Amino acid sequence: MSRTDTPELDQGQQWQRLDPRMLLVHPVRELIRFLPAVIGVFLAGTASGNEVWHLVGVGVPIALGLLRYVTTSFRITAGRIELRRGLLERHVLSTPVDRVRTVDLTASPIHRALGLATVRIGTGASNEEEQLDLDSLPLARARELRLELLRVAPPTSAEPSEPAERVVVVLDPAWVRFAPFTSSGLVLAAGTLGVASQAMNTFGGWERLDTGGLVDGVAGLPWWTLAPTAFLGLVVLVTVLAVGGYVVANWGFALSHSDGAWHLRRGLLTTRETSLDDERLAGVSVCEPLALRVAGGARVSAIVTGLDRKQQGSGLLVPPAPRPVVLRVARDVLGTSGPVDAPLVGHGPRAHRRRFTRALAPVGAVLAATVLLVLVAGAPAWLLLVAAAGIPVALGLAADRARGLGHALVDDHLVARSGSLNRHRHALATDDVIGWTFRSTWFQRRAGLTSLSATTAGGRQAVTALDVPEPAAVGLAAAAVPGLVDQFTTQASVPARLA
């Protein structure tokens, strides 16, 4: 694609350095990173009575920080952005500006105190080494650079009428109530407990803690008091952590649109600003995990071409929030309401039956194994009850999964919905479909079903409609991208020319 570069980018710029204030940030960060080593060196120095060790301990991290400042520089020249870094091994990263998909501005508390921000330029390269990170620039310069980088993309036709920043949604503190319904609390709790027990282990806390007394005190209580108390304690811990995590990650969240790009801002301690070029926005995914759905919430993320799975975080458009808010934002981002609201075409009784067989088969196998264990190996009979309890759960899940199945083609968007524990409704612009995959196992073929995936260069790389009746799948693919699949159908009007 040939694009005319804006003049300001054509005058081969000089190599620019990062902000000198980084000299304050890098050494501090290096000191923290080397903290164990530094402490070790200090202890060694104190033990040997040699003051030089202290100087080495502080000096090396500071020198490393200085080196990074001196050896890192960047420039934008002739439509390319180049980053030069490294002392012994010189790296020059260079990428065309029109390949820039996203520009992220992040600022840790240290950065914020100094008025700095780190610029991360997303080019779609999945390689960690190829990341273009400018750490750091003054906040104003960082924003200016972001504008420069994103402006190179050709403006969309609707742009001139919308010069000002339009704020679409800001965080309502009441949304925090959805935090406990996400899995993040569990993850945080597990992490916290892991770190805590590790620390206890390292510092010999277990020995010092009066575990004997604790066990004696606890053992006196009957189990029906103990179990609910422990459970309640865990629930409270998870809830507190989930709410804390939500607040830290999403405080000050705002989504706005200006200059042909969507801008996201969030973060309590480390602030993060993400910009998504309009051109790169291929669609949205509305996610409703079961717990969140029951609570009346949802979240939505963008499918951004050139962002791979690892960078999914940058695509989150609205954190867990009330469903109406999420749907409004989804409509706004897509510029049309059809893909979000339109009723979906169900996948028919055979697809439903498959949901039930797939949910019941493993439960049935477990039940059969338990029966065998009880009859042959003489296992306690109450195990049967436990195994049988899986059946209603499986039935419920299967029914919900069957109800969730659906697809549609609305307003040039392919829409597919599936899942129960983690329900998704994906809407992908048909322009961004870069291929089709029809996948079917022997069982699916026997039922006349196929799973249709529209591959794309963003998000999870594909949007899949599960277990679609085959004719409907072919019809959908043919209608979404005319002239592609038609030539391979049995009713092709234009005979395919063989190579």
Partner 1 sequence: MPSLREPAQRVSPRARSMWLVGGLAQGAALLVAAVLAGLVWHWYDHAGWVLGALALGVTAYVAVVPAWRYRVHRWEVTDTAVYTQTGWWTCERRVAPMSRIQTVDYAEGPLARLFGLATVTVTTASAAGALEIAGLDRARARALVDELTLKADTDPGDAT
Chain residues binding partner 1 by CB under 8 A are: 1, 305-306, 308, 432, 434-442, 445, 453, 455-457, 460-462, 470-472, 474-475, 477-478, 481, 483-491, 496-499
Distance (Å, whole) CA 321 – CA 147: 29
Cβ(105)–Cβ(308) below 8 Å: no
Nearest distance, CB of residue 463 and partner 1, angstroms: 10
Nearer residue to partner 1 within complex by CB, 88 or 499: 499
Establish whether the linkage from the previous residue to 136 is cis, with ω within 30° of 0. yes
Minimum separation from the CB atom of position 377 to partner 1 (A): 20
C-beta closer to partner 1: residue 305 or 370:
305
Nearer of residues 314 and 440 to partner 1, judged by Cβ: 440
Of residues 2 and 14, the one with the C-beta less far from partner 1: 2
Nearest-approach distance from CB 464 to partner 1, in angstroms: 9
Pull the structure tokens for residue 29: 């960060």
For partner 1, which is the closer residue by CB, 53 or 438? 438
DSSP secondary structure letter of residue 16: E
Instruction: Indicate the DSSP class of residue 345.
Output: B
Q: Is 252 helix (H, G, I), strand (E, B) or coil?
A: coil
Least Cα distance to 124 among 255, 282, 258, 16 occurs for 282
Provide the token pair at 140.
Answer: 């104003």
Distance between CA atoms of residues 413 and 427, nearest Å: 6
Kind plus residue range of the DSSP H or E element containing 141: helix 139-151
Q: Which is nearer to partner 1, 376 or 498 (CB)?
A: 498
**Kind plus residue range of the DSSP H or E element containing 284:** strand 281-289
Whole-angstrom distance, CA of residue 314 vs CA of residue 321: 17
Side chain identity at 410, as an amino acid letter?
Answer: V
Report the nearest approach of partner 1 to the CB of residue 24 (Å): 40
Minimum CB distance to partner 1, residue 14 (Å): 29
Query: Nearer Cβ to partner 1, position 2 or 157?
Result: 2
Angle (CA) 325 326 330, round 5°: 120
Of the pair 14, 491, the CB lying nearest partner 1 is at: 491
Residue 61 amino acid letter: P
> Residue 294, class by beta-carbon neighbours within 10 Å (0-12 exposed, 13-18 middle, 19+ buried)?
exposed
Of the two residues 349 and 392, which places its CB atom closer to partner 1 in the complex?
A: 349
Q: How far is the CB of 435 from partner 1 (least distance, A)?
A: 4
- Number of Cβ within 10 Å of residue 145's Cβ equals 21
At its nearest, how many Å lie between partner 1 and the CB of residue 10? Answer: 21
CB of residue 451 vs partner 1: minimum separation in angstroms?
Answer: 10
DSSP 8-state class, residue 4: P
Sign of CA dihedral 249, 252, 254, 258: negative
Return the number of the residue (50 or 357) whose C-beta is nearest partner 1. Answer: 357
**Cβ atoms of 461 and 441 closer than 8 Å:** no
Task: State the nearest-atom distance from the C-beta of 469 to partner 1, in Å.
Answer: 9
Nearest in space to 38 (alpha carbons), one of 13, 59, 16 = 59
The alpha carbon dihedral of 375, 381, 386, 392 has a sign of: positive
The string of DSSP letters for 73-90 reads: EEEEETTEEEEEE-SSS-
Taking the least distance from each CB to partner 1, the nearer of 163 and 483 is 483
CB of 415 closer than 8 Å to CB of 330: no
Type of residue numbered 199: A
Least separation in angstroms between residue 452's CB and partner 1 is: 10
Q: How far is the CB of 123 from partner 1 (least distance, A)?
A: 12
